[in-house]
Structure 1
Amino acid sequence: MKTRTVTRTRWVPHTEAGETRTVPEDYTEDIPVPPRDWDHILQRAALAIAVGFTGISVIWSAVSGGGLLTTTASEWIAYPVALAYDAAWITCLILEWLARYDADRARLPRRFGYAALIVAMIVIFAHGQLAGQWVAGLAGAAISLIAKALWALVLRQISFELPPLTREWVRVSRAEVGAQLAIIQQRRQLDRMRGQSQALLAATGMTATPAMATVTRDATPAVVPSALTPLLPIAAATPAVEPSRNADALLTVADVAQIASTTPPPPPNSVPPGTALLPVICRPRHSTPSHASRTAAPTPATPAAPATQHPTATPTVATIERVAAAATPAVEPSRNADALLTVADVARLRGVKPSTVRSWVNRGKLTPASSSADGRNVFDRNAVAALDTPAATPAVAPSQMEGGYA
């Protein structure tokens, strides 16, 4: 076994005058020499020869192509352009080298490389034919062919085919890493575009339009709730206002007006003059219509609770339904036998004043069925019918009562 001597340095303790210090010390050592790796040496030699042939091919191709192109262009243009013929197939060769472990990816650059090589060989042969030396042209074209063949053999020697599962694993891994790189590049591009947009907006003094923001809105057309039907004739006269952006659960007064803006105005005398249905549905105290108007015109129903709505209030759909129900003209109790009766309804049916009905309640003569949300008593129709009090006075419309409320 062959060995070779090498000099090494080590640190050793050394004592002088009673003081110990660590000092470097040189020493020699014989180590075995591994045999030469002739496979690696020859592989590098073949690679060097292929590179040398490629250089010769490029030079000869430039000379031949430049000489051919000088017939139509100056030498300063013809010879640099002639380098493109060999540069094309060399570029394809580099791409084939990078994809040497994936036969599918290496197939396309290999084909284009051979096509570019054929074009370069034709140019070299045509230059020799033009000079009257077709043999020299053929020999020059053969140099490029030999260089390409050497590279094909080198690639075949240093590359090897991967097993199918390993090849698929490499492809999946490459795809995942490539996706990450693509996302990073796209994010960088989006950040650059946002910066340019903000700079442009700041320079021009403009503001971002809704189209610039990411807003997801329901494209389903709005449907008018059935409870809003009584409000349509009243809200038809209101100018159209753009509905609020949040139309999923809440409706503003402007939304109701916008919904009702497409409904034609009501026919004349459909709503008694002087009757305010929104926001408080009652007849003013000072208004006293004639007996004919009380009997002919429909009487507005008593609202569940008087409330003053703020212009910017945002009532829920349930609130608007209650207001719509209050805006609906009252129906004779005989036509709606299942509904509960208010104090005003009982007074009108029995021909008495509301105070009389309240007196009945206090004395226990009439028992309320339940109480409404605002604490007002409501009565069952059967209990009212069971009263033995005769109708002593004519019916009084709720609009005649004080404030319009029971």
Structure 2
Amino acid sequence: MKFRTETRRRPVEHTVDGITHTINKPQQVRVPVLPADWDSRAIKAASALVLVLTAIAVVWSTVSIGSLLHGGPGYAAAALFDVSWITVLILEWLGRFDPAKQKFARNMGFVLVGVTAGAIAWHGALLDSVALAVVGAAVSVIAKLLWMAIFRHVDKPLSDEDRQWVDAEISKANAKLAVAGVRRRVAVAEVQARAEILAAEQLLNQLDDGANTAEQIVVDEESTPVLASPNTVRRQVEQAPSIAELARQQVTGGASNKDAFEEIMRRIPDAKPESVQATVRREARRQTRYM
């Protein structure tokens, strides 16, 4: 067995002048060297060769089908044929622990490779070249079969009990993913609901503030405050000089408070009675102070 020397560090206590600290001290350690894994290297080499062959098949089919579709955008459409069955190859590898998924991907791969091979054979037939039709179509099919051979070699067979155990573990992991997804969606929905509720509350507060600002309190010195609507307040503000002037004229002319009130209400029918009464009483007190 072969060995190699590695430098590792281990914690040791080091004391200087009566003060101890833990330091990392280098140490030479001999460790065994594992023998080369030729099986793994062989699989990697085979995969590299099949990958090169797949690239050749992609180029060949793209040129052939693109020419069949009269070039230009046809080459982009031709790339779809190869991309499709190569994508299914990846799905087949990802589904190696699920026989149903792996089988579906494998069968779909055969269908897509068959379509690609058929298009290449069609192009060769249009060119009256049997060799081009057969060999060109065989390139993609051979690449597909070689990938199947590699997957089958790499795939580790499981007993029925082990496969059921693996299925149970996968099911448990999928359940956790599903729960996580549902919780995430619920959390997002709750956040959106809270945001909408806060927005609605803020809007209601703004409307309430606007209403409180628009509503004015008409204060009668001898009565309780009365809330007036914004339209009434605006009308009273416009009529306020007229009411005050009329009240001054009536009181100065010797009219009683009742007569002054009735005269003002006759001239301004839509005036607020409480406001008119307050104005008349205020003018009457002012005239009394001046007398």
For the superposition of Structure 1 and Structure 2, which TM-score range results when normalised by the shorter chain?
A: 0.5 to 0.7
Supply the distance in 1 between the matched residues of 2:161 and 2:3 (Cα, whole angstroms): 45
Change (3 A) 1:176 1:25: closer
| Mapped contact 1:101–1:160 kept (Cα < 8 A) | no
Corresponding position of 1:178: 174
Corresponding position of 1:84: 80
Corresponding position of 2:155: 159
Q: Does 1:54 align with 2:50?
A: no
Q: CA RMSD in A?
A: 3.6
Change (3 A) 1:2 1:175: closer
TM-score calculated relative to the size of structure 1: 0.42
Question: Counterparts of 1:12-91 in structure 2 under 5 Å?
Answer: 33-70=33-70, 75=72, 77-91=73-87
Corresponding position of 2:164: 168
Corresponding position of 2:113: 117
Supply the distance in 2 between the matched residues of 1:131 and 1:114 (Cα, whole angstroms): 26
Identity of aligned residues (%): 35
Q: If each structure's helix is expressed as a fraction of its own residues, which one has the higher value?
A: 2
Supply the distance in 2 between the matched residues of 1:23 and 1:166 (Cα, whole angstroms): 45
For residues 33-67 of structure 1, give each alpha carbon's deviation from its aligned partner in whole angstroms, at most 9, with x where no partner exists. Answer: 54432222211111111221221111212111211
For residues 186-224 of structure 1, give each alpha carbon's deviation from its aligned partner in whole angstroms, at most 9, with x where no partner exists. Answer: 2211222333344445546699xxxxxxxxxxxxxxxxx
Alpha-carbon shift at residue 115 of structure 1 (Å):
0.5
TM-score calculated relative to the size of structure 2: 0.58
Q: Residue 128 of structure 2 aligns to which amino acid in structure 1? A: G
Alpha-carbon shift at residue 169 of structure 1 (Å):
1.3
Change (3 A) 1:26 1:104: closer
| Mapped contact 2:65–2:123 kept (Cα < 8 A) | yes
Unaligned runs of 5+ in 1: 13-21, 208-406
Change (3 A) 1:99 1:10: closer
Bigger Rg, which one: 1
| Mapped contact 2:6–2:31 kept (Cα < 8 A) | no
Change (3 A) 1:2 1:127: same
| Mapped contact 1:101–1:161 kept (Cα < 8 A) | no
Supply the distance in 2 between the matched residues of 1:24 and 1:197 (Cα, whole angstroms): 59
Q: Residue 132 of structure 1 aligns to which amino acid in structure 2? A: D
Q: How many residues align?
A: 200
| Mapped contact 1:65–1:82 kept (Cα < 8 A) | yes
Question: Counterparts of 1:132-143 in structure 2 under 5 Å?
Answer: 132-143=128-139
